[in-house]
Amino acid sequence: MENTLKRTVAEQLVDQLAQSGVKNLYAITGDSLNAITDAIGKDGRIRFIHMRHEEAAAFAASAEAQLTGRLAACAGSSGPGHVHLINGLYDANRSNAPVLAIASTCASDVFGTEYFQETNPTLLFSNCTVYNEMAITPAQVPSMIHSAMQAALSKGGVSVVGLPEDVNTQPAVADDTSFTPAYTERLTAPSDAEVAAAADIINKAKTVAIFVGYGAAQVPEKVKALSEKLNAPVITTYKSQLEFTRDMPNYVGHMGFLGMWSGEDAIATADVVLILGTNFPYPGFFPAEKRAIQVDIRGYRLGKRANLELGICADAGLFIDALMPKVEANKDSAFLNKALKGWAEIKSKMQEPVNNPGHKGCVRPEYMLAMLDKLAADDCVVTVDTGMNNVWTSHYLSGGKNRRMLASFAHGSMANALPMAIGAAVAAPGRQVISISGDGGLAMLMGELLTVAQYKLPVKVLVADNRALAFVKWEMELAGYTPSEVNLSNPDFAAMARTMGFQAETVDDPADLEGAMKRWLEADGPALLSVVTDTDAASFTFNEKLMASAKPGNHKSNFIALGS
């Protein structure tokens, strides 16, 4: 076929991505990717964000996609370059983030010869993608890239396209660049019969609890109205906590290992639980015999976590719209009031470590998070590392007017916070972006501090320097092991960050925290605040069963004991 445009596949690809709304490509260039890097520079519409590790590139693209709801892109060069993407892509895929990843590879004529840096991307990425193909000829590329983008957007996940070096650099053979994805709102309505069946179950039940996840986070006001009509307590997941705690009088806590017994109890004792938009993965917290109605836009998730009486594949908002006129108002508020009483008790217990902020050399992390909650902007983006910071944010971070929290909710990877903050800062300039990093998590992808500094991104990094893999320390204790290999020997993170161009401070006295945190948040550019926190803080046992099995030893005073 004639190349009417006289351009390479790489140049055509960049044109197609730009026309499809891709704004940034997070990547590290090299070898087979160089043609694409060169084309991006010449084209000028896409910003190449040069990361220090491809795993971080995938986390950053994922954060951009999750914040904007639009397609985001990352890339890795041959072999190790794209192999490094994989952990971030797993996280993106499990977060339903629409991400396109370009895995450039060695030339196709050496495939299968153990060539230098040879990998098979289709095999490599098979378990973390919704679309995963390898281009072999230039003619395929535009339609393949289109299919990849559309799959990422429509299925909600990662698409990987393998692009061999020789394909990238050949002349493009198709001159049609209209292969751009359609952004459709996936709003599936429930049928009348399904709504009638749900209303019938709810109207016959004495008590109903509503368990909501991120799939319903766009319509908190509808959840609120339904919960008020039914006098039903609302229980959330950690992921959807900020969106649902802003204005939800019937909120009684969130579920799971980091959750509160008030929510768990409400679910355990309700006649019927209405599950809206969550793929909450811990069946142990959800009684198997519970009568449940589940509504999820992703039909394949129905019944995955609970034995359903009724499963409906629909958008949560449309479902509530249709259900509201069909359900009778519940006049009895005793069940709701009991749950609200439990939640009020927990909230007052949660204030204890905040009112007792620790001492020099040992700042209580609860106090640190409560302070951050007080000082952070009402519309900030907070990214959270996996570990104890999940515990503190789940208990002390509130929704503000429009705050957003990103974490490795479903994949549970360490080191996600800093690269996600990079993606958030690139995607949402002007919005305050805060990375809540563990000392272990920060060290794991520490090179990304250099990315922040190089692009002068105004990311605010908060390091909880507890000198340990503290979450794992507790995991080992709770399982009856003597914790080992969990201690960390740390540098002064602030001194280190200053050499990179950050405004940075270390705080080891709770009395200094407020002033230091204000200076940190008000800094113009990159800023890091390292807080020397209590290694043994562990008030994550808001769950009675975990409390009972805990062997806290001399850390007992760190546990917040709660009655039932």
Ligand X SMILES: Cc1ncc(C[n+]2csc(CCOP(=O)(O)OP(=O)(O)O)c2C)c(N)n1
Query: C-alpha 510: how far from its chain's center?
Result: 29
Site size toward Mg ion (CB under 5 A) is 6
Name which of Mg ion, ligand X, none residue 472 binds, using a CB cut-off of 5 to 8 Å depending on partner kind.
ligand X
At 243 the three-state DSSP class reads helix
Name which of Mg ion, ligand X, none residue 386 binds, using a CB cut-off of 5 to 8 Å depending on partner kind.
ligand X
CB of 416 to ligand X, least distance (A): 9
The two structure tokens encoding residue 104: 């450039």
The residue among 18 and 488 lying less far from ligand X, judged by its C-beta, is 488
Rg (CA), the chain: 25
φ and ψ of 357, to 5 deg: -75, 10
Q: CB under 6 A: which stretch of 90-98, 104-112, 445-453, 464-472 binds ligand X?
A: 464-472
CB of 140 to Mg ion, least distance (A): 47
Closest by alpha carbon to 275, among 296, 261, 258?
Answer: 296
If one asks whether residue 472 binds ligand X (CB under 6 A), the answer comes out as yes
Q: CB under 5 A: which stretch of 68-76, 174-182, 274-282, 469-477 binds Mg ion?
A: 469-477
If one asks whether residue 438 binds Mg ion (CB under 5 A), the answer comes out as yes
DSSP 8-state class, residue 280: -
Residue from 237, 432, 451, 466 touching Mg ion (CB under 5 A): that is 466
The residue among 353 and 438 lying less far from ligand X, judged by its C-beta, is 438
If one asks whether residue 439 binds Mg ion (CB under 5 A), the answer comes out as yes
Asked whether 56 and 418 are in contact (CB, 8 A), the reply is: yes
If one asks whether residue 389 binds ligand X (CB under 6 A), the answer comes out as yes
Residue from 466, 503, 543, 558 touching ligand X (CB under 6 A): that is 466
Distance CA 118, CA 114 (A): 6
Closest by alpha carbon to 434, among 242, 214, 157?
Answer: 242
The two structure tokens encoding residue 141: 């590329």
First to last CA, the chain: 74
404's CB contacts (< 8 A; 6+ apart) are 67, 242, 380, 381, 382
Residue from 470, 504, 513, 521 touching ligand X (CB under 6 A): that is 470
The residue among 135 and 513 lying less far from Mg ion, judged by its C-beta, is 513
Residue from 469, 521, 531, 550 touching ligand X (CB under 6 A): that is 469
The residue among 319 and 474 lying less far from ligand X, judged by its C-beta, is 474
* Residue 336, amino acid: L
The residue among 142 and 256 lying less far from ligand X, judged by its C-beta, is 256
Distance CA 63, CA 381 (A): 10
Residue from 385, 448, 505, 536 touching ligand X (CB under 6 A): that is 385
The residue among 440 and 510 lying less far from Mg ion, judged by its C-beta, is 440
Query: Among the residues of 162-236, which ranges form H helices?
Result: 165-169, 192-204, 220-230
Give the residue closest to ligand X by C-beta.
438
Distance CA 288, CA 290 (A): 6
If one asks whether residue 387 binds ligand X (CB under 6 A), the answer comes out as yes
The residue among 207 and 413 lying less far from ligand X, judged by its C-beta, is 413
Q: CB under 6 A: which stretch of 185-193, 295-303, 465-473, 490-498 binds ligand X?
A: 465-473
434's CB contacts (< 8 A; 6+ apart) are 372, 376, 380, 381, 382, 383, 421, 459, 460, 461, 462, 521
**Pattern of binders to ligand X over 392-431, x per CB under 6 A?**
--------------------xxx-----------------
Asked whether 261 and 544 are in contact (CB, 8 A), the reply is: yes
Distance CA 16, CA 12 (A): 6
Interacting residue ranges for ligand X, rule: CB under 6 A? 385-389, 412-414, 438-441, 464, 466, 468-472
Interacting residue ranges for Mg ion, rule: CB under 5 A? 438-440, 466, 468, 470
